[in-house]
Chains A and B, each alone.
Chain A
Amino acid sequence: MKELTKIEEILLLAIWKLKDDAYGVKIRKYVSQIVGKDFTYGNLYSALSQLSKKKYVQKTLGEPTPDRRGRRKIYYTLSPAGVKALKTARDMNQKMWEGVSDYAFD
Chain B
Amino acid sequence: MNRRHPHPPRIAGWILKRTARYEENFAIIGDFDEEFQEVARERGALFARFWYLRHCLRSSPVFIKDSVYWSFIMLKSYLKIAFRSLKKHKGYSFINIFGLAIGMAVCILILMWVLNELSFDRYHEKADHICRVTMDIELGSTLHTPVTLTAVGPALVRDFPEVVTATRIDPPNRASVKYGDKLFQEARVGYAENAIFDIFTFPFVSGDPRTALEAPYSAVITESMAKKYFGDEDPLGKILRINNERDFSVTGVVKDVPPNSHFVFNMLCSFQTYLKEGDVRDDQWFDVRFYTYLLLDENIDIKNLEQKLPAFIDKYLGEAMKASGGSIKLSLQPLKRIHLYSDFERDMSANSDITYVYLFSGIAIFVLCIAAINFINLSTARSSTRAQEVGMRKTLGAVRSRLIGQFLGESLIYSICSMVLAMVLLKLSLPFFNSIIGYGLRLNFVQAPWLIMAFLALAVIVGVFAGSYPAFFLSSFQPVRVLKGFLKVGTSNSHFRRVLVVFQFAISIALITGTLIITRQIMFMKNTNLGFDKEHVVVIPGMNEGLRKSYLSIRGELLSLPGVIDVGASDLVPSRGHLVGSFLPEGFADNQRQTLDYMDVDAHYIPAMGMAFVAGRNFSEELSTDQDESVLINETAAKKFGWDNAVGKRFVFRPPPGQEGETTYVSVIGVVKDFHMQSLRKKIEPLIIFYDSNNLFSVSLRLAPENITHTMDLLKKKWGELDPNRPFNYFFLDDAYDSQYRGEERLKNITFSFSFLAIFIGCLGLFGMASFTAEQRTKEIGIRKVLGASVTGIVRLLAKEFLLLVIVANLIAWPLAYWAMNRWLQSFAYRTGISPLLFGFSAVLAISIALFTVSYQAIRAALSNPVDALRYE
Contacts and interface: CB of A to CB of B under 8 A. Distances in A.
B27 A42 contact: no
B35 A45 contact: no
A42 B61 contact: yes
Nearest to B63: A42
A46 B20 CA distance: 10
Interface string A72-83: 111000000000
Given A23-B31, A45-B20, A71 B60 contact: no
Interface residues of A, number: 24
B35 A25 contact: yes
Contacts of B117: none
Nearest to B70: A49
A25 B26 CA distance: 13
Contacts of B20: 45
Contact of A41 (B5, B55, B70): B55
Interface in B32-62: 32-35, 37-38, 55, 58-62
A41 B31 contact: yes
B27 A24 contact: yes
A99 interface: no
Contact of A74 (B5, B24, B63): B24
Given A45-B66, A71-B26, 14 more contacts: A23-B31, A25-B31, A28-B35, A41-B55, A41-B59, A42-B58, A42-B60, A46-B62, A46-B65, A66-B5, A68-B31, A69-B30, A72-B26, A72-B30
A-B residue pairs, 9 tightest by C-beta: A42-B62, A71-B30, A42-B59, A24-B31, A68-B30, A74-B27, A67-B37, A67-B34, A41-B59
Contact of A45 (B5, B28, B33, B38): B28
Contacts of B5: 66-67, 69
B29 interface: yes
Contact of A49 (B22, B29, B30, B58): B22
29 contacts: A23-B27, A24-B27, A24-B28, A25-B31, A28-B35, A40-B58, A40-B62, A41-B31, A41-B32, A42-B58, A43-B62, A45-B20, A45-B28, A45-B66, A46-B62, A46-B66, A48-B24, A49-B24, A59-B24, A66-B5, A67-B5, A67-B37, A67-B38, A68-B30, A68-B34, A71-B27, A72-B27, A73-B30, A74-B27
B59 to A, nearest CB: 3
Nearest to A48: B24
Contacts of B27: 23-24, 71-74
A65 B34 CA distance: 8
Q: Which of A25, A42, A45 has the most CB of B within 10 A?
A: A42
Q: Which of A38, A49, A67, A74 has the most CB of B within 10 A?
A: A67
Contacts of A28: 31, 35
A64 B30 CA distance: 8
Interface in A12-47: 23-25, 28, 38, 40-43, 45-46
A42 B58 CA distance: 7
Contact of B63 (A38, A45, A66): A45
A24 to B, nearest CB: 3
Nearest to B26: A71
A49 B28 CA distance: 12
A64 B34 CA distance: 10
B1 to A, nearest CB: 14
A73 B29 CA distance: 10
Contacts of A38: 55
Contacts of A41: 28, 31-32, 55, 59
Contacts of A72: 26-27, 30
Contacts of B66: 42, 45-46, 49
A73 B28 CA distance: 8
Interface of A: 23-25, 28, 38, 40-43, 45-46, 48-49, 59, 64-69, 71-74
Nearest to A59: B24
Contacts of A42: 58-63, 66
Mostly, the A contact residues are helix
Contacts of A67: 5, 33-34, 37-38
A24 B33 CA distance: 11
Contacts of B24: 45, 48-49, 59, 74
Q: Which of B30, B32, B35 has the most CB of A within 10 A?
A: B30
B59 A40 contact: yes
A72 to B, nearest CB: 6
A45 B60 contact: no
A23 B26 CA distance: 13
Contacts of B22: 45, 49
Contacts of A68: 30-31, 33-34
Contacts of B37: 67
A38 B55 CA distance: 9
A38 B58 CA distance: 10
A68 to B, nearest CB: 4
Nearest to A64: B30
Nearest to B30: A71
A67 B59 CA distance: 21
A41 B66 CA distance: 12
Nearest to B16: A41
Q: Which of B5, B20, B34, B55 has the most CB of A within 10 A?
A: B34
A25 B24 CA distance: 13
Contacts of B30: 24, 64, 68-69, 71-73
Contacts of B38: 25, 67
A31 to B, nearest CB: 13
Contacts of A64: 30
A1 B236 CA distance: 82
Nearest to A53: B73
A54 to B, nearest CB: 13
A40 B56 CA distance: 8
Nearest to B41: A67
A41 B22 CA distance: 12
A58 B675 CA distance: 96
B29 A71 contact: yes
Interface in B434-472: none
A18 B528 CA distance: 101
Contacts of B34: 25, 65, 67-68
Contacts of B33: 67-69, 71
A42 B22 CA distance: 11
B795 to A, nearest CB: 53
Q: Which of A41, A67, A72, A73 has the most CB of B within 10 A?
A: A41
Nearest to B58: A40
A67 B66 CA distance: 27
A46 B34 CA distance: 20
Contacts of B29: 71
Interface in B784-821: none
A77 B37 CA distance: 25
Contacts of A24: 27-28, 30-31
Q: Which of A23, A25, A43, A64 has the most CB of B within 10 A?
A: A25
Contacts of B58: 40, 42
A40 B55 contact: yes
Contacts of B35: 25, 28
A65 B24 CA distance: 17
A59 B24 CA distance: 10
Contacts of A66: 5
A52 to B, nearest CB: 9
Contacts of B61: 42
Contacts of B62: 40, 42-43, 45-46
B464 to A, nearest CB: 30
A66 to B, nearest CB: 7
A14 B58 CA distance: 22
Contacts of A23: 27, 31
A26 B28 CA distance: 12
A24 B20 CA distance: 14
A28 B38 CA distance: 14
Contacts of A46: 62-63, 65-66
Interface in B158-192: none
Contacts of B63: 42, 45-46
